[in-house]
Amino acid sequence: MRYLFIILFFISSTVAASNFDHRHTPFTKVLKQHVTVYDNNLKSAVDYTSLAAQPDALNQYLNTLSAVTSAQYQQWNANQQLAFLINAYNGFTLKLIIDNMAEFKSGEATSIRDLGGFFSGPWDQEFFTLLGEKRTLNWLEHDKIRVDFDEPRIHAALVCAAVSCPKLRSEAFTGNNLETQLEDQMATFLSDDDKNGIDADGIYLSKIFDWYGEDFGGLKNYLRNYSKVLADNAAERQRLQSDFSIRYIDYNWQLNSIENR
């Protein structure tokens, strides 16, 4: 009887795992409805007001993520796992914002950093369940994604609801398209000269590259892989091949809303 139970549990877990929608179709529908991409596809902004007025589709999608067990998750391939985690981070960040829209409307909050209690910021709030336990956004990024995946391009994919963040895609990440999507995110981020670029003083970069420099395994060499998108001409590309200085520009934490675009 015990062995029968184990077999049935394994079968049910396998079926549940295979039934999960790895296309993340509901999230794509939410993003397409509420995210506006602009500036030649380099940036995006969220209509948080409309999303807060119609939260059901987002909440239902996030409930499907919360229902996934650790056992189910372990049966997926690495790309499916990472796409799931990135979408969870971006989706629950959206939820955190719309659940606190009253503070933004009143002017009490102007950025995600204004949310949270006296002793814990927004990224340390246990406001959602994932893989069977209450989690925080910091757990997702620093204890799960950065630990389990050697993938620096996640820093161009995780969007913390700030103007200086990489753009939030108007589609969900999927296991089947993850390589293309991550590469596009990094190339787009480095192409946005409001955040990264080359000028007379050298190379200027988003603070993201300062905060997570260790993840890039030698930042200057990493940037040389993207010389065609970071540099506008042959002279600038040549500059990237020699030694160069880097400065990090101030981070704009204002909400990445359509009002702030």
Domain positions in the chain are: 2-260
For 134-155, what is the mean pLDDT? 98
pLDDT for the residue 18: 57
Tokens of 22: 């790895």
228-233: list long-range contacts, CB under 8 Å, 24+ apart.
229/187, 229/190, 229/191, 230/190, 230/191, 230/196, 230/197, 230/198, 230/203, 231/198, 232/198
Ranking 12-26, 87-101, 196-210 by mean pLDDT, the lowest is 12-26
pLDDT in tens, 11-32: 333 444 458 999 999 999 999 9
For 213-227, what is the mean pLDDT? 95
Decide: 98 and 52 in contact? Cβ < 8 Å: yes
Decide: 122 and 96 in contact? Cβ < 8 Å: yes
pLDDT for the residue 118: 65
pLDDT for the residue 5: 39
Element (H, E) at 97: helix 78-98
* pLDDT of 38 above 90: yes
pLDDT for the residue 10: 42
DSSP state, residue 45: E
What b-and-e string marks burial along 57-85, b requiring 16 or more CB atoms within 10 Å of the CB?
Answer: ebeebbeebeebeebbbeebeebbbbbbb
Say how far residue 232 (Cα) sits from the centre of its chain. 27
For 45-62, what is the mean pLDDT? 98
Decide: 32 and 47 in contact? Cβ < 8 Å: no
Mean model confidence pLDDT for the chain: 92
* pLDDT of 241 above 50: yes
Other CB atoms within 10 Å distance of the CB of residue 120: 12
- Identify which has the larger pLDDT, 201 or 205: 205
